[in-house]
Amino acid sequence: MAAMKDDNKRVREWEAGLPSAADLTPLHHSLITRVLARAFCIPTNTTPPTTSDVLRASKSTLEQLQQKASSAFTLPSFETYPCYESRTGGGGERGGGAGYAVEESLDDERGGYEGLKRSREESGRRSVRVTKSPLKGVWDGEKASERDGGASGSGSGGNGNSGAELGGGPGYYWPSQGAMPEGSGAYGTLGSDQGGYGGGLEAGSESTKGASLDNKSRKLGDTESDDVDSGDCPDGNTARTLKRPRLVWTPQLHKRFVDAVGHLGIKNAVPKTIMQLMNVEGLTRENVASHLQKYRLYLKRMQGLSSEGPSASDPLFASAPIPPSLNPSPHFFTNHHHLRAESGVAGPSFSPPAVPLLRAQQTIPPGAMGPGIMGPGPVQHFGGFEHHPYNIGLARSAAQQRPPNIGEHRDFLVNAHSGAPVGAAGSPPHRILTLFPTSSS
C-alpha cells in the first residue's frame, strides 16, 4: 500500500472493479474522503462536505432509495434463501453404522451449514456431556440463491392442495449468537447481524429497518465461554465449542413439528424421527425431544380437560389442529394425495422444508403450541399468503401486524397444513411451505 502515496503508481487493473462516481449515491459522494476519492478515481471535489452538503445529499439518497425500494417490492428479486431439502442423506437409515451421518450429511451446500459438527465425546457416560456444536451456519443469505427457493412450489411433486398452502413463511428463528465459525456470513446478511442479538427487532425488522440497530454486540467480552474452552480443543482446533443458540419454536416450526408428529402418529413419534421428518436444518434431536416433551404434556393436559371451558381452561392455547393424540400412525408417507383436510383432526399433511431463520432471543414468537383436541372446532384461520421464506421479514411486518399487546400465551397453536410429501417412502420430503401464525385472541 505504500504505493498509495503516489498517484502515479496507480495500478489500473486494480481499479477496474472499483466503484466510480456513478456508482455512489450522492450521500456517499459527499462523505467520501479525498484520499479515498482519489483512489477510486472519483473526481475529488474540492470542498470538503459541509453539514448542509451532507444533509442535502442524504435527502436525495433517501429519495433514491425510496424509489428503488418501491419498485423492488414487486420484483421477486429477493435473494432466495435456500430451502433445505432432505436432511437425511438418503433415505437410508443411518442407524446402524452411520450413526451421526445425519449431521454430516446435511450439510453443505445448503448454506453455511457445515461448520463444525458436534464435538461429542463419547467417553464416559453421560456425565460428560459436552456442549455440542454450535449452530451451524444455518443459511447464508448470500449465496443462498442456488436453491430456488421457489421451487417452491413445486417442490417435489406436487403439492396438491392448492388451497392449502398457506402463507407464512417465516422460518424458524434462532437467536443469533455470535459465534459462527469463520465465514459464515450468513447472519450478517440477513439482518440478523452477526453477533448481535437482534435484540428487540421484530421479525420483520430485519429486513427493513436496519437502522435501528442498537444491538449491543458483545463480541469480545464474551464472558461466558470463559474457561470453558481452555481445556478442550487441545490442538488449537478451530472448532470452538460454541453453543448453539437457543432454538425458538416459532409457530412455523411448531407447525412442522406437529405435522411430523401427526404423520408419524403419536406412537411412532420419537425425537429422532420427528427431527428427520421435519427436515429442518440445524434442528437437533434434543431440540425435538425437549419440545416433544412439552408437547406431550400439553396434550395430556388437554385431554384431561377436554371438555373444558374453552374459555377458561387455558386461555393460553388457541386452536387445535392436530390431535394426534391417539392417532397412531395411520398414514405414513404413503401419501395419497387426497385431500385430507378432514375434520380438523386428521393428519396434517406434510410440510415443506423449513427455513430456519435466525432471530433474536425470545422476542416475538408467540409460540403457539396447540393442537387442539378440543371440542370447538379447530380454528383454522390463517392468512393465506404465499410467502416464500424470504419475505418473511416483510411479510411479518406487513401481513402480520402485531398488535401492540397481545399477550399471547398460546402454547400450541397450529395453523395450516400443506401439501403432501411426495417423496417416496424413503426419500425425505422436500417442500416448501409457509405458514402463518394465527393471531388470535
- What is the contact surface with DNA in residues (CB under 7 A)? 95, 99-100, 122, 126-127, 129, 131-132, 243-244, 246-249, 269-273, 285-287, 289-294, 296-297, 362, 365, 367, 409, 411
Q: How far is the CB of 315 from DNA (least distance, A)?
A: 12
Q: What angle do CA 24, 72, 148 make, to 5 degrees?
A: 110
Q: How far is the CB of 144 from DNA (least distance, A)?
A: 23
The pairing of beta strand 356-359 with beta strand 172-175: parallel
Q: Pick the closest to residue 379 from 312, 440, 298, 299 (CA basis).
A: 440
Distance CA 412, CA 325 (A): 14
Distance CA 227, CA 241 (A): 12
Q: How far is the CB of 139 from DNA (least distance, A)?
A: 17
Q: How far is the CB of 272 from DNA (least distance, A)?
A: 3
Q: How far is the CB of 275 from DNA (least distance, A)?
A: 8
- Measured between its terminal Cα atoms, the distance across the chain in Å is 63
Side-chain half-sphere exposure of 334, counting CA atoms within 13 A: 3
Residues 6+ apart with CB under 8 A from 216: 196, 197, 199
Which CB, 5 or 126, lies closer to DNA?
126
Q: How far is the CB of 413 from DNA (least distance, A)?
A: 11
Strand intervals (E) in 105-182:
172-175
Distance CA 194, CA 200 (A): 14
Which CB, 31 or 116, lies closer to DNA?
116
175 forms beta bridges with 359
Which CB, 72 or 128, lies closer to DNA?
128
Which CB, 116 or 213, lies closer to DNA?
116
Distance CA 367, CA 361 (A): 13
Which CB, 46 or 127, lies closer to DNA?
127
The backbone torsions φ and ψ at residue 70, rounded to the nearest 5 degrees and listed phi first, read: -65, -40
Residue type for position 144: A
Which CB, 300 or 338, lies closer to DNA?
300
Interior/surface letters 114-129, b for 16+ CB within 10 angstroms, e for the rest: bbbbbbeeeeeeeeee
Q: How far is the CB of 27 from DNA (least distance, A)?
A: 41
Distance CA 195, CA 178 (A): 4
Residues 6+ apart with CB under 8 A from 134: 115, 116, 177, 179, 180, 181, 240, 241, 242, 243, 244
Which CB, 202 or 411, lies closer to DNA?
411
Rounded to 10°, the helix 271-278/251-268 angle is: 130
Q: How far is the CB of 16 from DNA (least distance, A)?
A: 47
Q: How far is the CB of 146 from DNA (least distance, A)?
A: 28
